[in-house]
């Protein structure tokens, strides 16, 4: 049961590397309740990850300023999920370091996955309370879970069982569970991949809204390049175990889906992803 909760929470713990290699110029980000400063910056240096002789990540160097919205794209199997798992502390690197702008505390880094991973035997509100981890028995747990449900527009479903919710509603509960601990870094591993097109666009708007409201640092892995450019301050392309392209998306929000500027950026990234692979490949 405890193991299951840990898996569902994906609540990351600081690794030895993080404690040793602190960022030299920490940002002013603090848990002040001030949305504009709540995110944590992170600095990745020479990050490597191998599984046996499969060298998946071969030297990732990256600085993400506090509160930035970063999206990560790349071919299937290039190591996107591996990178997220390392950032979240769910797996240990083979080499290199990941350091946060400040000492990371429990609940500071959360991951949301493609599958909502709700507990079927717990009602919606209790599922959100699970996101509080060790503090889920505190007196204000219920109020905090209620606030998170309001944030995702699902307060009217608080007493429902997960089984009666639609796929999009389940993902909103999963988002509320991730938000309830007020994370400072929220990593998303294709969280909208299983949703239909309209629900997906609604969820993209919700993600952007909660990110604007709460000011966490967002790292979103997606296969959908249109989604990547619509949401990101910055799009990273991973290829051959490294960051092959780092594209700033300097467009005002809210962004006009289907605009010429977004389409041009999307085309540029797609061409980059497709280059050298004339045959079919999975994105």
Ligand X SMILES: Nc1ncnc2c1ncn2[C@@H]1O[C@H](COP(=O)(O)OP(=O)(O)OP(=O)(O)O)[C@@H](O)[C@H]1O
State the residues that interact with ligand X by CB under 6 A: 51, 54, 56, 74, 76-82
Min dist. Cβ of residue 237 to ligand X (A): 12
Per-residue x/- track, 78-117, Mg ion (CB under 5 A): ---x------------------------------------
Closer of 49 and 184 to ligand X (Cβ): 49
Closer of 49 and 157 to ligand X (Cβ): 49
Min dist. Cβ of residue 25 to ligand X (A): 30
Where do we find the tokens 């193991």? 3
Closest CA to 221 of 62, 73, 69, 9: 73
Number of residues that bind Mg ion (CB under 5 A): 1
Chosen from ligand X, Mg ion, none, partner binding at 159 (C-beta under 5 to 8 Å by type): none
Min dist. Cβ of residue 30 to Mg ion (A): 32
CB-based closest residue to Mg ion: 81
Closer of 79 and 93 to ligand X (Cβ): 79
Backbone angles phi, psi at 3, to 5 degrees: -65, -40
Min dist. Cβ of residue 114 to Mg ion (A): 8
Task: Answer for the pair 231, 257: CB distance below 8 angstroms, yes or no.
Answer: no
Chosen from ligand X, Mg ion, none, partner binding at 82 (C-beta under 5 to 8 Å by type): ligand X
Q: What are 97's two structure tokens? A: 């370091």
Burial per residue of 209-236, b for 16 or more beta-carbon CB atoms within 10 angstroms, e otherwise: ebbeebbbbbbbbbbbbbbbbbbbbbbb
Closer of 250 and 282 to ligand X (Cβ): 282
Closer of 76 and 159 to ligand X (Cβ): 76
Closer of 162 and 191 to Mg ion (Cβ): 191
Chosen from Mg ion, ligand X, none, partner binding at 169 (C-beta under 5 to 8 Å by type): none
Residues in touch with Mg ion (CB under 5 A): 81
């Amino acid at each position: 049961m405890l193991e299951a909760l840990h898996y569902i929470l994906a609540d990351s713990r600081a690794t030895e590397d993080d404690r040793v290699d602190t960022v030299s110029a920490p940002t002013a980000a603090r848990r002040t309740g001030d949305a504009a400063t709540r995110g944590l910056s992170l600095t990745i240096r020479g990050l490597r990850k191998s599984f046996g002789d499969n060298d998946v990540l071969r030297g990732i160097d990256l600085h993400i300023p506090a509160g930035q919205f970063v999206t990560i794209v790349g071919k299937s199997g290039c190591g996107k999920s591996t990178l997220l798992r390392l950032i979240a502390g769910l797996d240990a690197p083979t080499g290199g370091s990941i350091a946060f702008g400040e000492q990371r505390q429990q609940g500071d880094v959360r991951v949301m996955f493609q599958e909502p991973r709700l507990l079927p035997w717990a009602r919606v509100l209790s599922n959100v309370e699970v996101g509080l981890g060790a503090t889920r028995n505190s007196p204000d747990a219920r109020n905090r879970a209620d606030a998170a449900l309001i944030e995702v527009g699902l307060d009217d479903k608080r007493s429902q069982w997960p089984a009666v919710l639609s796929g999009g509603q389940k993902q909103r509960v999963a988002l509320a569970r991730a938000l309830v601990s007020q994370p400072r870094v929220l990593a998303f591993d294709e969280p909208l991949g299983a949703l239909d097109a309209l629900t997906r666009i609604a969820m993209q708007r919700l993600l952007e809204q909660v990110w604007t409201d709460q000011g966490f640092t967002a790292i979103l892995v997606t296969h959908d390049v249109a989604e990547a450019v619509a949401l990101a301050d910055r799009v990273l392309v991973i290829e051959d175990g490294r960051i092959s392209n780092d594209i700033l998306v300097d467009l005002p929000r809210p962004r006009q889906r289907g605009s010429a500027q977004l389409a041009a950026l999307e085309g540029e990234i797609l061409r980059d992803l497709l280059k050298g692979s004339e045959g079919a490949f999975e994105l």
